[in-house]
Amino acid sequence: MSDRQILQAMSGLMAGMFVSILAGTVVANALPRIIADLGASQSSYTWVVTAELLAMTATVPLWGKLADLYNQKLLLQISLGLFVVGSLLAGFSHDVSLLIFSRVAQGIGAGGLTALAQVVMAAVIPPRRLGKYAGMFGAVFAVGTVAGPLIGGVLVDTSWLGWRWCFFIGVPFALLAIVLLQRTLKLPTVRREAKIDYLGAFLIVAGVSALLIWVSLAGNSFDWASWQTAALTGGGLVLLVAAVFVESRVPEPIIPLGIFRNRTVTLTTVASLFVGLAMFGGTVFLSQYFQISLGKSPTVAGLMSLPMIMGLLVSSTVAGQLISRTGRWKAYLVAGGILMTAGLGLLSTIGADTHFGLLSLYMAVMGVGVGMLMQNLVLAAQNDVAATELGAATSVLSFFRSLGGTIGTSVLGAILASRVATEMSKGLQEAGIPAGGGAAGHGAVPDMTTLPAPIREIVEHAYGTATGELFLVATPFALLAVLAVLFVKEKPLKTTSGMERLAEESGAAGRAEDDAAAPLPTGTPAAPAEKA
């Protein structure tokens, strides 16, 4: 494909990726209003947040396997269609049960987009040229991640729009992506006999869901040390052990365990898990810090994240161009990991009185690091696997990054709640105010507009201190990602696309079979039998 054809095809993929990212981020600042309008509880609030992420994380490996078996363009359009249906259901929801169900549909569609977009990129673009296009996708990821809360805040603050448009706004992008993909993306349909491992798929989804439900609800709906924890963790581990047993014996496993024999895949998977833990686990609470500790509106809170998005956008684009030009990529992975670790370490020093200039610098450092690291981990793995395993390898990295983000968000959220409660109790005691004197109780997020000035200062200080400590907890995970990246062996980037490599591998396999089946020429001695 020419550069022009690739850019045309990428336009549909980028629109699809933007939609999937927007689905998870646009409701961040709108959820308090949504839950209040629907008359739902705090536990429902948690489920609206986690339902989409659970469905996306659990189904990414399934989409990746389907990409290795069926037409990837059709699968992309199906996932976008699921997203449209889920978004419309969510926008028209009049009770929280329908909203949660619609978020599951959105999550399944987003899982397909997360896995398939990068698989299709690898199919049509050689790894040597993939860097600059991966940089564009990194920029789209940055815009969707950080602009989502800003868009959501503006929609909620605009009286003639309201929170329902947080769901409707993604529908035009999804429909546009379907049309663009149909017109610009040309992928051959590889027809081959395939057996889908339904039992393995069920065990993987059930096991992962049990563990994700545990980390999402533990510390909020029940204690970390409780019978619910024992049941969910024990059941989840048993299901995953059974999944490994099944996957090691079926001809078409959902996750081919053999790919973990590849050192590059294993190390980039470990790094992706820690990137998810560090990045998502730390940054998801920045919006709350801006609004509660710094007293900003939802719209202003979204704008305050711009230094991070700009750092991510610039670094992912520049690093991608340089990788495509030079063919060298490991230095950017290492530098990105170091900068992400440094940014998280700097953010651990913030508090309620941190100047926005310093805060912007810290966020920009972290954004630059993430931009150099995240997309290029996928590039390194895709470059080192067979074309028949591109879907599996890509989905495994996406799966573990989402898994890390879910675990990090849940665990760090529990730490935040505990630290806020401790700091507020300490502040109230020092001020001589009885506990519960107008401040948030029972783990609820306080309404800052209703608090008297002395208590508001205590709450602002508590959230500022607790948020800084969250980044301190997240920093060692980023350092572990750096260590994993250091051991990745740099290999030259291939100059053929995934489709070309698949054709070569299929042709080589066919020639080998023909050679094995061909009769020996007359007079040629047979090869001696191997000894047992």
- Dihedral pair phi/psi, residue 218, rounded to 5°: -60, 135
233 has a pLDDT exceeding 70 = yes
Residue closest to 13 by CA, chosen among 58, 64, 65, 80: 80
| Positive or negative: CA dihedral 355, 445, 106, 402 | positive
Residue closest to 170 by CA, chosen among 11, 20, 12: 20
- Dihedral pair phi/psi, residue 113, rounded to 5°: -65, -40
**Residue 514 contacts by C-beta under 8 Å, 6 or more apart in sequence?**
none
- Dihedral pair phi/psi, residue 222, rounded to 5°: -155, 165
74 CB neighbour count, 10 Å cutoff:
14
Q: What is the pLDDT of residue 365?
A: 93
For residues 350 and 359, give the distance between their C-alpha atoms in angstroms, rounded to a whole number: 7
For residues 45 and 22, give the distance between their C-alpha atoms in angstroms, rounded to a whole number: 18
119 has a pLDDT exceeding 60 = yes
Residue closest to 415 by CA, chosen among 235, 272, 284, 270: 284
Convert 324-343 to b/e letters by CB count within 10 Å (16 or more is b). Answer: beeeebbebbbbbbbbbbbb
For residues 179 and 185, give the distance between their C-alpha atoms in angstroms, rounded to a whole number: 10
For residues 51 and 216, give the distance between their C-alpha atoms in angstroms, rounded to a whole number: 10
Q: Which residues pair with 222 in a beta bridge?
A: 218
Q: What is the mean pLDDT of residues 409-427?
A: 80
Q: What is the pLDDT of residue 334?
A: 94
**Residue 72 contacts by C-beta under 8 Å, 6 or more apart in sequence?**
116, 119, 120, 123, 187, 391
Q: What is the mean pLDDT of residues 288-314?
A: 80
Residue pLDDT, tens place only, 238-277: 999 998 898 888 877 777 788 888 899 999 999 998 888 8
Residue closest to 116 by CA, chosen among 209, 194, 195, 185: 185
Residue pLDDT, tens place only, 390-404: 777 877 888 888 788
Averaged confidence pLDDT in the chain:
79
Q: What is the pLDDT of residue 532?
A: 36
| Positive or negative: CA dihedral 47, 312, 478, 289 | negative
Contact between 465 and 347 (Cβ < 8 Å): no
Residue closest to 460 by CA, chosen among 475, 470, 449: 449
Highest mean pLDDT among 35-49, 109-123, 395-409, 457-471: 457-471
Residue pLDDT, tens place only, 499-512: 677 677 666 555 55
For residues 302 and 194, give the distance between their C-alpha atoms in angstroms, rounded to a whole number: 46
Q: What is the pLDDT of residue 444?
A: 53
Q: pLDDT confidence of 447, banded at 50, 70, 90?
A: low
Quick one: tokens of 240? Answer: 């995953």
For residues 146 and 26, give the distance between their C-alpha atoms in angstroms, rounded to a whole number: 9
Q: What is the pLDDT of residue 393?
A: 81
Residue 158 to residues 166, 298, 354, Cα–Cα distance (Å): 12, 11, 30
Label each residue of 212-272 as H, E or C: HHHHHHECCCECCCCHHHHHHHHHHHHHHHHHHHHHCCCCCCCCCHHHHHCHHHHHHHHHH
Contact between 307 and 368 (Cβ < 8 Å): no
**Residue 302 contacts by C-beta under 8 Å, 6 or more apart in sequence?**
29, 146, 147, 149, 150, 151, 152, 153, 154, 287
For residues 107 and 48, give the distance between their C-alpha atoms in angstroms, rounded to a whole number: 11
Q: What is the pLDDT of residue 237?
A: 93
Q: What is the pLDDT of residue 281?
A: 59
Residue 394 to residues 60, 125, 355, 379, 529, Cα–Cα distance (Å): 9, 14, 40, 9, 41
**Residue 87 contacts by C-beta under 8 Å, 6 or more apart in sequence?**
23, 102, 106, 167, 168, 170, 171, 174
How many CA atoms are closer than 13 Å to the CA of 232, on its beta-carbon side? 19
**Residue 215 contacts by C-beta under 8 Å, 6 or more apart in sequence?**
406, 407, 410, 411
Percent pLDDT > 70 in the chain is 83
**What is the residue whose two structure tokens read 């339902």?**
51
Residue 83 to residues 68, 169, 175, 398, 400, Cα–Cα distance (Å): 22, 12, 10, 18, 22
Percent pLDDT > 90 in the chain is 12
Please give the biggest Cα pair distance in the chain.
Answer: 104
Here the contacts of 8-11 (C-beta below 8 Å, separation 24 or greater) are: 8/180, 8/184, 9/120, 9/124, 9/181, 9/184, 9/185, 9/186, 10/121, 10/133, 10/136, 11/180, 11/184
For residues 356 and 344, give the distance between their C-alpha atoms in angstroms, rounded to a whole number: 16
The pTM of the whole model exceeds 0.85: no
Q: What is the pLDDT of residue 524?
A: 45
